[in-house]
Amino acid sequence: MYEVELKCHADHDALRERLDARATRRGTVTQTDTYYDAPHRDFAETDEAVRVRVEQEPNDEPTAKLTYKGPLLDAESKTREEHETAVADEEAARGLLDGLGFEPAATVEKERTAYALDGYTVTLDLVTGLGEFVEIETEVETEAGIPDARDRARDLLDGLGVDTDETIRTSYLGLLLATERDVQ
Closest CA to 134 of 59, 72, 78: 78
In angstroms, the CA 113 to CA 30 distance is 9
Beta strands in 10-100 (DSSP E): 24-37, 49-56, 63-72, 80-87
36 noted as active-site residue: no
Of 132, 183, 136, the residue nearest 160 (C-alpha): 136
Q: Within 10 A of 181 (CB to CB), how many other CB atoms are there? A: 8
Asked if residue 113 lies in contact with residue 25, where contact means CB atoms within 8 angstroms, the answer is yes
Q: Which of 2, 35, 115, 172 is catalytic?
A: 35
Residue 104 and residue 35 in contact, taking contact as beta carbons nearer than 8 Å: yes
Strand partners, 120: 117
Contact between residue 117 and residue 182 where contact means Cβ atoms under 8 Å apart: no
Catalytic residue numbers? Answer: 35
